[in-house]
Amino acid sequence: MIKPRRPVAGFTLVELLVVLAILGLLAGLVGPQVMKFLGSSKTKTAQLQIADLAATMDLYRLEVGRYPTSDEGLEALVSDPGSVPNWNGPYLKKGKVPEDPWGNDYLYRFPGEHGTFEIWSLGADGREGGDGENADITSWD
């Protein structure tokens, strides 16, 4: 004797639409919060990298006797500028100067206007000034 087949239970179109609507609402509420945290984490990463570069500059000064000039720039931390006695680098572990979290080079000036030397990033927009994620991140703040 053949047993009758039980009908396969499934979802109705209305149930699927309700679930999709709920997922859409959640994405609309959670998405902006996630993007806000992503932007602030890039800013914090830039602050930490600038602090690390500043500490490396102090080590460079201890060994060489001076900070790199503006022309030598941050590259003096990874390659011998040539006319620098006692250069014992590279001073950065990976052998290259990191880019900021937005893919731009950090800017360097010696002597600085706000301190002995200055290292800064122009933020997400790559332009001076700005607010939030577009704000400049500096070694002197």
Share of the chain above pLDDT 90, in %: 48
Is 3 within the bounds of a domain? no
Is 108 within the bounds of a domain? yes
Residue range 66-103, pLDDT digits in tens: 999 999 999 999 998 887 888 887 999 888 999 999 99
Cα gap 96→67, rounded to integer Å:
18
The per-residue pLDDT for 28 is 84
pLDDT at 120 over 70: yes
Mean pLDDT in residue range 33-55 = 84
Task: Concatenate the DSSP letters of all residues of 72-91 into one string.
Answer: T-GGGGTS--SS-TT-----
The per-residue pLDDT for 129 is 86
Identify the domain containing residue 127 by its residue range.
41-138
Confidence of residue 38 (pLDDT cuts 50, 70, 90): low
- The domain tally of the chain equals 1
Cα gap 49→40, rounded to integer Å:
14
CATH number of the domain that 103 lies in?
3.30.700.10
Is 12 within the bounds of a domain? no
